[in-house]
């Protein structure tokens, strides 16, 4: 492992790298190809071990700074930022465990040394999970399909779940485990053909009688029930994921404001429309910053109220970044409708903000039920 100088300013380096990502963004989007070249640049500079504590071989960056880095990349290439956030939120959950004294040191050292790409499949699993695990000697055979598996086009280790029926009780459990993409029976389908975020390589992963040893199972929980693990996952994941979209919205406002500065015949209503856009951007940014604050640099307890607070803020951020880019597109005018315009790609990419868990209708019900049963 080649170490970078200890004085490396990763935020400045991310800004520099993001300029080259911007130059490639249109091609990745048009061709629907994973941002492999951008990932190579990030790996070369040690970005896949940013949050790992220094004593384990990482760079030990504060969580808040990693969020800022994702946002910085998002301003230039939304797909790279979003995919990168997925690796980082899986890593962040394990950093939280390490700081709480749980036995994840070996995993973190491996990521620090080798920088494998961690693949998340949790978006469609939530409380119930999908796929099925069957007990065999020494472990389980897992079959099923995992959709929206970000980075699966070029990833190394899948962090996922599957349903398992306890024969003794008949109850359904959910197993949390990891599997290498090279394991027999694991394949990814080349089916990521979407409106936006086309460079994230979020293909479906197919599991066909994949052997998962018992040692790879990190958690077993009741299917359909909210488990405290989600308070950890939501708290470290959602600020990172929303960082990519806040970056996209910031870029859209930049385009509009920079253009307006050079206009000599600005329409009478244009300034108030720009003001509306900036208010929306401010709402998104402030609420996102509060999500980062709640994570408190990994110093938090996995309590239900925290998971709920994160989910509510996620919905507000998602709605306001979408509204910000929509307003920017309106102000920018009909040219935004052309596919050779950066604004058009920003508009398509930002739409995905609404689909991360929980989607707004589910979040509203979840938060209402939480409030009704708690004083």
Q: What is the pLDDT of residues 254-308, one digit of tens each?
A: 999 999 998 877 888 889 999 999 999 999 999 999 999 999 999 999 999 999 9
Rounded to 5°, the CA angle 159-160-164 comes to 145
Residue 75, Cβ neighbours under 10 Å: how many? 22
Say what percent of the chain tops pLDDT 70: 97
| Res. 1: pLDDT tops 50 | no
Nearest to 124 by CA among 365, 358, 315: 358
Least confident stretch, 41-45, 196-200, 215-219, 267-271: 267-271
**Mean pLDDT for the stretch of residues 226-244:** 96
Report the predicted TM-score, pTM, of the whole model to 2 decimal places: 0.96
Give dist(CA 325, CA 344) in Å, integer: 10
Domains parsed from the chain with CATH numbers: 10-115 (1.10.540.10), 122-222 (2.40.110.10), 229-373 (1.20.140.10)
Q: How confident is the model at residue 123 (pLDDT cuts 50, 70, 90)?
A: low
Q: Give the bridge partners for 210, in sequence order.
A: 142
Q: Give the bridge partners for 126, in sequence order.
A: none
Can you give the length of the chain in residues? 375
Q: Give the bridge partners for 175, in sequence order.
A: 162, 220
Find the radius of gyration of the CA atoms of the chain.
Answer: 21
3-class state of residue 239 by DSSP: helix
Rounded to 5°, the CA angle 94-98-100 comes to 115
Q: To 10 degrees, the CA torsion angle through 198, 201, 202, 207?
A: 150
């Amino acid at each position: 492992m080649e170490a970078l100088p200890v004085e490396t300013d990763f935020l400045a380096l991310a800004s520099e790298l993001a300029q080259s990502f911007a130059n490639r963004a249109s091609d990745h989007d048009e061709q629907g190809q994973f941002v492999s070249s951008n990932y190579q640049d990030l790996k070369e500079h040690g970005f896949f071990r940013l949050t790992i504590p220094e004593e384990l071989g990482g760079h030990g960056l504060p969580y808040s700074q990693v969020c800022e880095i994702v946002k910085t990349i998002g301003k230039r290439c939304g797909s790279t930022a979003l995919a990168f956030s997925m690796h980082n939120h899986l890593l962040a959950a394990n950093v939280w465990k390490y700081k709480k004294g749980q036995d994840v040191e070996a995993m973190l050292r491996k990521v620090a040394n080798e920088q494998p790409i961690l693949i998340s499949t949790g978006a469609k699993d939530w409380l119930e999970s999908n796929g099925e695990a069957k007990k065999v000697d020494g472990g389980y055979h897992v079959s099923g399909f995992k959709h929206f598996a970000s980075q699966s086009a070029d990833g190394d280790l899948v962090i996922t779940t599957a349903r398992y029926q306890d024969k003794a009780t008949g109850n359904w459990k959910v197993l949390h485990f990891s599997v290498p993409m090279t394991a027999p029976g694991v394949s990814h389908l080349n089916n990521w053909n979407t409106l936006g975020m086309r460079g994230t390589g979020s293909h479906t992963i197919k599991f066909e009688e994949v052997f998962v040893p018992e040692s790879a199972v990190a958690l077993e929980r009741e299917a359909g029930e909210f488990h405290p693990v989600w308070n950890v996952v939501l708290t470290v994941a959602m600020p990172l994921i929303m960082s990519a979209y806040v970056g996209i919205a910031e870029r859209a406002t930049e385009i509009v404001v920079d253009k307006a500065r050079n206009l000599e015949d600005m329409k009478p209503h244009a300034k108030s429309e720009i003001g509306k856009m900036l208010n929306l951007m401010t709402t998104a940014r402030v609420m996102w910053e509060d999500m980062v604050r709640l994570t408190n640099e990994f110093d938090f307890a996995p309590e239900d109220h925290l998971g709920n607070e994160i989910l509510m803020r996620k919905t507000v951020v998602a709605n306001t970044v979408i509204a910000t880019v929509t307003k920017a597109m309106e102000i920018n005018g009909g040219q935004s409708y052309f596919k050779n315009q950066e604004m058009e790609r920003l508009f398509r990419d930002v739409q995905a903000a609404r689909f991360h868990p929980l989607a707004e209708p589910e979040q509203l019900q979840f938060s209402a039920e939480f409030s009704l049963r708690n004083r």
